[in-house]
Amino acid sequence: MRAAASRPVDLVCLRRADVGVVAVLVECKYGVGSPRRSDAAGLVAAARRAGATPVLAFAEKRGRMRMIDAEKWLDFTP
* Structural domain harbouring 41: 11-75
Higher-pLDDT residue of 2 and 62 is 62
Residue 10: pLDDT over 80: yes
- Domain membership flag for residue 4: no
Query: What does the buried/exposed string (b/e) look like for 14-49 if buried means 16 or more CB atoms within 10 Å of the residue's CB?
Result: eeeeeeeeeebbbbbbeeeeebeeebbeebbebbee
Look at residue 45 and tell me if it is in a domain.
yes
pLDDT at 39: 79
Calpha distance 78→24 (Å, rounded): 9
- pLDDT (tens digit, 9 = 90+) per residue, 32-67? 667 888 878 889 999 999 999 999 998 877 778 889
CATH number of residue 45's parent domain: 3.40.1350.10
